[in-house]
Amino acid sequence: MSASLSYLERSKLHSNPTAKAFLELMERKKSNLSVAADLNKKAALIELADKVGPYICLLKTHIDVVEDFDQDLVDQLTALAKKHDFMIFEDRKFADIGNTVKLQYGSGIYKIASWSDITNAHMVPGEGIVQGLREVGLPLNRAMLLLAEMSSAGTLAKGDYTVQTVEVARKYKDFVVGFIAMERYADKEGDDFIYMTPGVGLDQTSDGMGQQWKHPREVVFDRGCDVIIVGRGIYGGGRDAAKEAKRYQEAGWNAYVERISK
């Protein structure tokens, strides 16, 4: 089972260059923390990325909420990714037909494929969405996650939807490298998907608006997932973002070391 292997050992099994480099980065940096930077001002996003950069493996953005987006923001974020050794994940959650998502991914204002190492998509439209994104992303050595589950109360992404999402991922392993999911699924021969889990918190269990938080150890050790995604728990409510990022980095990494040592 891939969950029992180290990130470095798993990196040798991947054909997708971004997945390989990402797993190597996690091992090198001793971090399985992704910060969800849901901020709507360019300066605030850049400041946060610089503060948490030393502690994260992945910066997760919602670029379309940034009110003063421009190319300089992209340039600064990619420079910070190089400076601090992290990757960028644009949490776009594509959900349209193949031809439309090709344009959304590669063109338009944001040109996501030109700067985001990883993106993601819903499987509601069927596997044509994967084919469309793959046409744009694969030549650029990008990678994609599929939303197999979500962390919000009442989500419809579960059951048969999740099962079918995993089957589609198995058909496109050169581009689909993992899932947004709440737990690791049973591997078939040749599987080694990267599991990223949102809704992680050390201090709270709910935000009163449907978001449900789980402890890093529950996510990484008990459920076998690989990356913890944390947002407001690190920078919300006037928290010291650097201090909190270090705390989550240590909690996530300790759970991973415990998992592969058991």
What pLDDT shows up at residue 150?
A: 77
- Supply the DSSP string of the chain, one letter for each residue: -GGGS-HHHHHTT--SHHHHHHHHHHHHHT--EEEEE--SSHHHHHHHHHHHGGG-SEEEE-GGG-TT--HHHHHHHHHHHHHHT-EEEEEEEE-S-HHHHHHHHHSTTT-GGGT-SEEEE-STT-THHHHHHHHHHGGGT-EEEEE---SBTT-S--THHHHHHHHHHHHTTTTEEEEE-SSPPPPPTT---EEEE--B-SS-SB-SSSBB-B-HHIIIIIS--SEEEESHHHHGGG--HHHHHHHHHHHHHHHHHHHHH-
Question: pTM of this prediction?
Answer: 0.94
Pick the CATH number of 2-261 from 3.40.250.10, 1.10.240.10, 3.20.20.70, 3.30.70.20: 3.20.20.70
Name the active-site residue from 29, 51, 91, 192. 91
Name the active-site residue from 41, 93, 173, 246. 93
Decide if 91 is catalytic: yes
Q: What does the pLDDT look like over 190-203, one tens digit per residue?
A: 899 999 999 999 98
Name the active-site residue from 85, 96, 174, 207. 96
Decide if 222 is catalytic: no
Mean pLDDT to the nearest integer, 209-237: 90
Q: What is the mean pLDDT of the chain?
A: 94
Decide if 93 is catalytic: yes
What pLDDT shows up at residue 187?
A: 86
Residue 60 in marked binding region: yes
Residue 226 in marked binding region: no
Residue 211 in marked binding region: yes
Residue 212 in marked binding region: no
Mean pLDDT to the nearest integer, 104-133: 97
The percentage of residues in the chain with a pLDDT greater than 70, rounded to a whole number, is: 96
Residue 38 in marked binding region: yes
Q: What does the pLDDT look like over 137-176, one tens digit per residue?
A: 999 999 999 999 877 778 887 888 999 999 999 999 999 9
